Amino acid sequence: MTPFPTQSGEAAPGAPSPPQPATVSGRSAVIALVVVLVAAFMELLDATIVSVAAPVIARDLAASEAAVQWMVAGYTLALGAGLITGGRVGDQFGRRRVFLLGLASFALASAACAFAANPATLICTRVAQGVAGGLMVPQVFGIIRSVFPPAARARAFGAYGAVLGLASVAGPLLGGLLVEADVFGLGWRTIFWINVPIALIGLVLGARVLPESSTSDRTRLDLPGAALAAALAVLVLLPLVQGRDWGWPWWGFALLALAVPTGALFWWRERNLVAGGGQPILDPALLRVRAFSGGLAASGLFFGALGSFFLMLSLYLQWGTGRSAWQTGLVILPYAIGSIITSGIGVQFAARAGRTLLISGALVLAASQVHLLLVVRSGAEPSYWQLAAPLFIGGLGLGLTAPSLMNVVLAGVPAKDAGAAGGVLTTVGQLGNSLGVAALGVLFFAELDASFGDGAPPHAAYGDALTAVLPWQVACYLAAAALMLLLPKAAKPD
């Protein structure tokens, strides 16, 4: 789940200077907004829809448990790795051009996902989807800023927030519905095919109405820094996700150990680039800003717990309790409804009590996980309403936190660094999502194996696995709440 931008647009990844003035108005401006919002909706949808469909995909493709994790983590990893670089590519070569390229690539990658005949192909095409999203998403913010004058810009970003809320509702429901409907006998493949006609319409309309905008600043892209950051993420995720399938060999731990010198090399590279007057992926000086470093850690923990939760809940609901994909979407629906209810409150009061809202949301999420833990641990198969209650509470907590997190963090960052800081913060949230799926997935599947080894039936085994993970997710939310004490008391007013 991608965090909200600030309404001023400063959170657009890699946006070092304001875009050019608006070149469209009236109906064309409305159509331009619809095009970019639909594209954003597709990207947000694909971040959640696969979690619901994953058990069905795994059964159809005979995918391993590690492959199931990669279907989710591979997408968010590639998306996170590409956000900052994608924003700067758009700044330099034209946001309209790069947006259309990203949208076309997303459509092609979606079609490739739909054609996938084995887990390896699907994982590779999901990574391609994430790369395309990394090109497309940063341009949404820049295009909105170039199309709308300041007076109307806040409403446009408000519409983006509404799209984010709608995607959170539509993802589980649409994923379950498309899988169950089995349109043309395509089954789960329709969750990817549906992107193709939508993207084609967006391309046609976008080519006609989207204005071109870029920045006059010309800095070399930090491609070595981006490559080192991606390598660092892979060196951490690969042994965690694949270690169980590999049998935890020594060289898996060696790969994990290589992350340390890779991280040091990345840090050295970025410091030298700053010293030479270049524009790095991450300016090390930003980490000396308490609000920013605390916000990065809080964001990584928060979205790490959140991203892993939906995949493991879907596995429990479908493989443990025998629910269908559609029934799973209905169970998750109260979570999305709760987030919509409080997201407006979070945005409205962020300028007055942003930090308090963030901490409250994280604590509510922790409480909801404890409630769910008690429901699942009871032993009996939980009813719909027993599951809906803690999920609804969790959604309320999410709505208080996710929409305002970036705004509050950036309130403590110098204005000149807000664009770069917003891009890094968004990226860390996505990478935290991937790391949560990987690290907590190790615990989930290890407990699952142990329970099956003791002769437990599927409901009990998957219940044991979920209850083994939930306390760690609670710990992540509590740690995130503690780190949020380092943030400014309120977001910057619009």
Query: Each residue's pLDDT tens digit in the chain (494 positions)?
Result: 444 333 333 444 444 444 444 455 667 778 888 888 888 888 888 877 888 888 999 999 999 888 988 898 889 888 888 887 887 788 778 888 999 999 999 999 999 999 999 999 999 999 999 999 988 888 887 787 777 776 666 677 667 766 766 676 677 788 888 888 888 888 899 999 999 999 999 899 888 888 887 766 666 777 888 888 888 888 888 888 888 777 788 888 898 899 999 989 999 998 888 888 777 877 888 888 888 899 999 999 998 898 889 889 999 999 999 999 889 989 988 998 888 888 777 667 767 777 888 999 999 999 999 999 999 987 778 999 999 999 999 999 988 888 778 778 878 887 666 666 777 887 888 888 888 888 898 899 999 989 988 888 988 999 999 999 999 999 999 999 999 999 888 766 54
- Give the predicted TM-score (pTM) of the model: 0.83
- CA-based diameter of the chain, in Å? 67
Distance CA 317, CA 328 (A): 6
Contact 484, 359 (CB under 8 A): yes
Degrees (nearest 5) of the Cα angle 113, 53, 61? Answer: 60
Contact 48, 175 (CB under 8 A): yes
Per-residue pLDDT, 125: 96
What is the number of alpha carbons within 13 Å of residue 86 lying toward its C-beta?
A: 32
Start-end of H helices in 182-222: 190-193, 195-209
Give the pLDDT confidence of 266-301 residue by residue, as tens digits: 999 988 888 887 778 778 888 888 888 999 999 999
Residue 437: burial class (beta carbons within 10 Å; 0-12, 13-18, 19+): buried
Radius of gyration for the alpha carbons in the chain, expressed in angstroms and rounded: 21
DSSP string for residues in 429-462: HHHHHHHHHHHHHHHHHHHHHHHHHTT--HHHHH
Per-residue pLDDT, 22: 47
Distance CA 301, CA 6 (A): 21
Per-residue pLDDT, 154: 64
Contact 102, 139 (CB under 8 A): yes
DSSP state for residue 491 in the 8-state scheme: P
Total count of residues recorded for the chain: 494
Residues 6+ apart with CB under 8 A from 419: 10, 11, 12, 13, 14, 15, 16
The alpha carbon of 15 is separated from its chain's Cα centroid by a whole number of angstroms, namely: 20
Per-residue pLDDT, 480: 95
Closest CA to 131 of 238, 32, 223, 43: 43
The alpha carbon of 258 is separated from its chain's Cα centroid by a whole number of angstroms, namely: 26
Per-residue pLDDT, 276: 82
What structural domains does the chain harbor?
Answer: 1-217 (1.20.1250.20), 223-242+254-278 (no CATH), 288-494 (1.20.1250.20)
Distance CA 438, CA 431 (A): 11
Closest CA to 354 of 493, 158, 491: 491
Residue 251: burial class (beta carbons within 10 Å; 0-12, 13-18, 19+): exposed
